[in-house]
Amino acid sequence: QLDDKPLVKHIFFAGYEWKVKSGHYNPGDNDWLANNVWVDGDGFLHLKITCEGSQWYCAELSTVKSFGYGTYQFQVIGAVDQLDPNIVLGLFVYPGSENPDEGNELDIEYAKWGKVDGPIGNYTVVPSEATYHFPCLLNGNYTTHQFIWTDDQVLFQSFHGHAVKDEMEFANWLYRT
């Protein structure tokens, strides 16, 4: 390699190309490891947190393409209601920019932010800092989370299972700009 730029890992998942974060970056002043992200032979995306020695490493990926207004949907396998209080599962976009430091973000996050008794569900709109917190007690490991983003509002929703059905919804929040 002729220059000192880090190599970027790219993967293909759900019909899109994604770049995988590696190195020491925000958010959270974290260390990221590209090997903590992979797609298995059945097409499932895996994200994991690892510890090497005393150093913890996170996982993050983002699409190469930006999409703008529309419906963003995430199907998750795992007990998001049982995460350690120091772990954050963030399902998000950076509207208008791919740079989170510019302060534009739409988030569905499962995190207690280090507080054992804190609510684990969070829908957030940045830069307004508007956040809706909700408890989450699941009856299984399969959930669907989405937001529908238009020019004047964002509808956040979370569902039991891998289907969007009114009777399976366990949280929602409408944010109007």
pLDDT tens-digit series, residues 5-62: 556 799 999 999 999 999 998 877 889 999 999 999 999 999 999 999 999 999 999 9
The values of phi and psi at residue 156, to 5°, are -95, 140
Cis peptide before 135 (omega within 30 of 0): no
Question: In sequence order, which residues have a C-beta less than 8 Å from that of residue 26 and are 6 or more positions away?
Answer: 100, 101
Angstrom CA distances, 133 to 35, 82, 105, 167, stand at 32, 16, 16, 21
Beta strands 121-126 and 16-20, pairing class = unpaired
**57-81: per-residue pLDDT in tens?**
999 999 999 888 999 999 999 999 9
The Cα angle at residue 36 between residues 133 and 156, in degrees rounded to 5: 25
Residue 158 in tokens: 């979370």
Which SS3 state, helix, strand or coil, does residue 16 take?
strand
Q: Whole-prediction pTM value?
A: 0.89
Question: In sequence order, which residues have a C-beta less than 8 Å from that of residue 70 and are 6 or more positions away?
Answer: 148, 149
pLDDT over threshold 80, residue 100: no
Residue 25 pairs in a beta bridge with: 30
